[in-house]
Structure 1
Amino acid sequence: MCNIFASQDPATYACETRAIRLHGHGTSLRLEAGFWRILERIAAAEGVPLARFLATLHDEVLARRGEIGNFASLLRVTCLHWLENQDRHAAELAARVRVAA
């Protein structure tokens, strides 16, 4: 039943720690490799480097909510949301491009 999941390469769920800068402060984030790959795909779709995407997301959530309880968890759920809503994301991105043009 779970062969497709059980047979995945352990490297996809190995944790990776990456250093990032948020508001000029250095910090590190620890996520599974698969999440880092999805975040890189999201950033590429947005046309920005991963570091800029992460900083922008962080700033926008702070502006809306006033705090971020667990940024790593937010990033994991962001990946899931993007995977489940790629059509919506593409439409919003296209709308932004039209407005900028």
Structure 2
Amino acid sequence: MIVLAATMKAKLGKEAELENTLKAVIPNVEQEKGTLQYVLHRSQNDVGKFFFYEKYVDKKALAFHGSTPYLKELFSAIKELLQEEPTIELYEEVAAITR
């Protein structure tokens, strides 16, 4: 499994708009067969900081996700809402608790 962790920081005054824009893509991503989890988080210490935890069955599923028109539209839409470029890191799951 492939895990993607993305952190984004909204420009001052754009926090709610960024959150709504990020949430709006979730129904589209939910339809992807290779996407296991796609979870948006907001920092408890900074209302403008968001974190996505994403889990894919393999690199092919991640590549499909990255190639979708709605994800390209998302990145275009949030460009003006972000204080800085998103931080995106890939991980390999090695252990977990699932319930």
Q: Which band: TM-score by shorter chain?
A: under 0.3
TM-score, normalising length from structure 2? Answer: 0.26
Q: In proportion to residue count, which structure has more strand?
A: 2
Higher relative contact order (CA 8 A, sep 6+): 2
More helix by share: 1
